[in-house]
Amino acid sequence: MILAVDCGNSRLKWGLHDGEGWARTGATPLAEIASLKKAWKKIPQADTIVVANVAGPLARRRLERVFPRSPVTWVKAKRSECGVTNGYASPAQLGADRWAALVAAWSMFRGACVVVMAGTATTIDPLRGDGTFAGGMILPGLDLMKRSLSESTADLPLAKGRFSRAPRNTADAIETGCLLAQAGAIERAFAAMEPGAVCVLAGGAAERIATGLGMPVRVVDNLVLEGLVRIARAPSE
DSSP string, 39-62: HHHTSPPPSEEEEEE-S-HHHHHH
Catalytic residue among 6, 18, 47, 97: 97
What's this model's pTM, rounded to 2 decimal places?
Answer: 0.93
CA dihedral 189, 192, 197, 198 (to 10 degrees): 20
Structural domains present in the chain: 2-74 (3.30.420.40), 90-102+111-223 (3.30.420.40)
- Active-site residue flag, 97: yes
Q: What is the pLDDT along the chain (237 residues), one digit of tens a residue?
A: 999 999 998 899 999 999 999 999 999 999 999 999 998 998 898 999 999 999 999 999 999 999 988 899 999 999 999 999 999 999 999 999 999 999 999 999 999 999 999 999 999 999 999 999 999 999 999 989 888 888 888 777 787 888 888 999 988 998 999 999 999 999 999 999 999 999 999 999 999 999 889 888 999 989 999 999 999 999 764
Answer yes or no: are the C-beta atoms of 172 and 160 closer than 8 Å: no
Cβ atoms 200, 116 nearer than 8 A: yes
Distance CA 44, CA 225 (A): 18
Nearest to 176 by CA among 138, 128, 211: 211
